[in-house]
């Protein structure tokens, strides 16, 4: 008996405890087993169940895999509000996620739900789930989202043979900005800086998340390292000449960055390590530069 069949055999013992349950390959985003009141074929994209055209931004299966912990979110099917819990299954080196579904439509999480429009319900749930993947200060994606999305980009490189380059950038000497101007102004610089970079990255169909502090992680699908170097270098020059105005002060910052082109065979930690190494080189060589 192969490992997946063995997993399914054991999971069947749980079928009476939940309204629906399924086993998902969190990297390929495929359903390999599903059982419940809502019939859903296997080998379909897991996000098809939610009537979405691409993977969920708040992918709890990816989170459960990376964080090695149970992860929870709320979704709406058009007539039901469902609570989904994702739990990692590790068996014979094959990693799958067990997703269990509970119908919570009538427990009051959305007051007077029967009189609410579908548009309102979807907006309300999106707002709740958005808080899980957005950085509180800057509004861009947070470290949790980075950990969710990066494995998808890695597997996409492997499957599509299209390039994808990632970049780690850091605001140089940001401690001095805080020390000389106070943390309130420092926070405002971070917010405005993030929105500026976010706009640039979105314009080329990339994404950016706050990795921590004044470090940011960027993914640029369909860009090789040479194209990414040109793009990030343009941003570096714009930032160098940009003026952040607060309390009649013109504050200027510079950035350092490290670029790494994904091969498609790496683990997520290896991508972080290689990108961070190049950022370190940029810092070591004098800052305000991009290393590849």
Q: Provide the token pair at 210.
A: 């706050």
Active site residues: 214
Q: Angle 183-202/174-181 helices, nearest 10 degrees?
A: 140
Pairing type for strands 249-251 and 30-36 reads unpaired
Label each residue of the chain as H, E or C: CCHHHHHHHHHHHHHHHCCEEEEEECCCCEEEEEEECCCCCCCCEHHHHHCCCCCCCCCHHHHHHHHCCCEEEEEECCCCEEEEEEEEEEECCEEEEEEEEEECCCCCCCCCHHHCCHHHHHHHHHHHHHHHHECCCCCCECHHHHHHHHHHHHHHHHHHCCCEEEEEEEECCHHHHHHHHCHHHHHHHHHHHHHHHHHHHHCCCCEEEEEECCEEEEEEECCCHHHHHHHHHHHHHHHHCCCEEECCEEECCCEEEEEEECCCCCCHHHHHHHHHHHHHHHHHCCCCCEEC
């Amino acid at each position: 008996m192969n490992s997946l069949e063995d997993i399914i055999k054991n999971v069947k013992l749980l079928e009476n405890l939940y309204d629906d349950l399924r086993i998902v390959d969190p990297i390929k985003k495929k359903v390999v087993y599903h059982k419940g009141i809502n019939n859903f074929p296997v080998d379909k994209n897991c996000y098809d169940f939610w009537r979405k055209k691409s993977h969920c931004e708040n992918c709890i299966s990816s989170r459960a895999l990376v964080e090695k912990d149970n992860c929870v979110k709320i979704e709406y099917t058009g007539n039901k509000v469902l609570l989904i819990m994702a739990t990692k299954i590790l068996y014979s080196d094959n990693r799958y996620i067990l997703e269990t579904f509970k119908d919570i439509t009538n427990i009051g999480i959305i007051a007077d739900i029967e009189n609410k429009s579908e548009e309102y319900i979807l907006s309300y749930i999106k707002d709740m789930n958005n808080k899980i993947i957005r950085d509180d200060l800057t509004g861009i994606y947070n470290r949790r989202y980075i950990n969710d999305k990066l494995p998808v980009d890695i597997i996409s490189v492997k499957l599509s043979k299209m390039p994808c380059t990632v970049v780690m950038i850091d605001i140089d000497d940001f401690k001095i900005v805080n020390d000389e101007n106070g943390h309130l102004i420092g926070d405002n610089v971070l917010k405005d800086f993030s929105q500026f970079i976010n706009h640039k990255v979105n314009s080329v169909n990339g994404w950016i998340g706050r990795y921590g502090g004044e470090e940011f992680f960027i993914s640029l699908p369909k860009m090789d390292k040479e194209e990414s170097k040109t793009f990030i270098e343009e941003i570096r020059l714009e930032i160098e000449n940009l003026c952040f105005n607060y309390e009649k002060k013109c504050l200027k910052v510079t950035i350092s960055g490290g670029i790494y082109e994904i091969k498609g065979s790496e683990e997520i930690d290896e991508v972080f390590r290689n990108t961070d190494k190049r950022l370190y080189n940029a810092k070591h060589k004098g800052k305000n530069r991009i290393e590849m």
